[in-house]
Structure 1
Amino acid sequence: MKKYYLGIDLGSTTSKAVIINEQDEIVGRGITNTRANYKVAADIARDEAEYDARFNLLQRKIGEDVTKPEFKKYMQDLRSVFQYGQFRRRMESL
């Protein structure tokens, strides 16, 4: 099983997360407004980085098809729909 490492930078305005693999390659990134709750900001940034990593790893697994314009458009649309779904879920939980 491969190992991945998560780093989180909690700032006063924004919080960022990054996931790297054993070769020190960035495989996922996440960013969010910190708001007044560092726990929530860390969780959101982590989730964003995990989702980003999964999409990036999926692209790598698919391989050559990634270079096709129609595939790039499909992946962009898929990410957008997924991010919108996450946004709605967070808004509904407020």
Structure 2
Amino acid sequence: MIDPYRILGVEFAASDETIRSAYLAAIRESPPERDRERFESVRAAYEAISDRRRRLAHQLFDHSPPTLDDLLSAVSSDFVPRPPSENRLLRVLGAK
């Protein structure tokens, strides 16, 4: 699973009430009838961090690697590829 804080749009130090209100807002934006996949990801994110105990367990024990879909969704829509700088090219090529 990708970062549940990112899915819900809350900060790492958010309170239980803030997380719950973000969850309810996300559910209203994407009900299961309209977007089942988004609904399930929001629900799973909320279940992972819904209270202090679960946040701690997620922080300590969730080391699952992200899927390709998780990685692609993490790239924001404003991402623009650009050519590498000359210094980066030289470093990658091993030039001194």
Assess same fold via TM > 0.5.
no
Say which structure is richer in strand.
Answer: 1
Pick 1 or 2: higher relative contact order, CA cutoff 8 A, min separation 6.
2
Q: Which has the larger radius of gyration?
A: 2
TM-score normalised by L of structure 1: 0.31
